């Protein structure tokens, strides 16, 4: 039992020494400045141009979303109008049939009147 305790104590002390020491840590190296500042300016200008392009494209996409919504609403109104037109055409056809029936009745009555 003593032997196991001594081994565990030894392992513990070795761990403390190995992992507990505070070794000096190197500071991260700073990024080296480029040799040509005009290259940096050129890249920044290009980046700004690309950002402006992205914003313009976002605006166009938003406009297209609005256009799609408007087109969907117009399509719904067109479907409703066509349904109403079909209903009106059906009513007109029924009215034409009633008028034809009434005209036939009038014709028969007129013929009866001529016979008398």
Banded pLDDT at 13 (limits 50, 70, 90): low
The predicted pLDDT at position 105 comes to 92
Residue with tokens 């840590």: 25
Burial 89-104 (b: 16+ CB within 10 A, else e): eeeeeeeeeeeeeeee
18-73, pLDDT tens digit by residue?
666 556 667 667 666 657 778 888 889 999 999 999 999 999 998 888 888 899 99
Taking the C-alpha atoms of residue 91 and residue 84, their distance in angstroms, rounded to an integer, is 11
Both tokens of 61, joined, read 């996409």
Both tokens of 43, joined, read 């890249």
Counting every residue, how long is the chain?
A: 116
Taking the C-alpha atoms of residue 17 and residue 8, their distance in angstroms, rounded to an integer, is 14
Taking the C-alpha atoms of residue 85 and residue 81, their distance in angstroms, rounded to an integer, is 6
What is the model's pTM? 0.44
């Amino acid at each position: 039992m003593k032997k196991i305790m001594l081994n565990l104590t030894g392992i513990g002390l070795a761990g403390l020494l190995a992992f507990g020491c505070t070794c000096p840590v190197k500071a991260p190296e700073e990024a080296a400045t480029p040799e040509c500042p005009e290259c940096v300016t050129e890249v920044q200008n290009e980046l700004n141009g690309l950002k402006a392009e992205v914003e313009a494209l976002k605006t166009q996409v938003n406009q297209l979303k609005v256009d799609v919504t408007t087109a969907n609403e117009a399509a719904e109104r067109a479907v409703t109008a066509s349904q109403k037109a079909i209903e009106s055409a059906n009513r007109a056809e029924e009215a034409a049939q009633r008028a034809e029936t009434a005209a036939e009745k009038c014709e028969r009555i007129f013929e009866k009147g001529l016979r008398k």
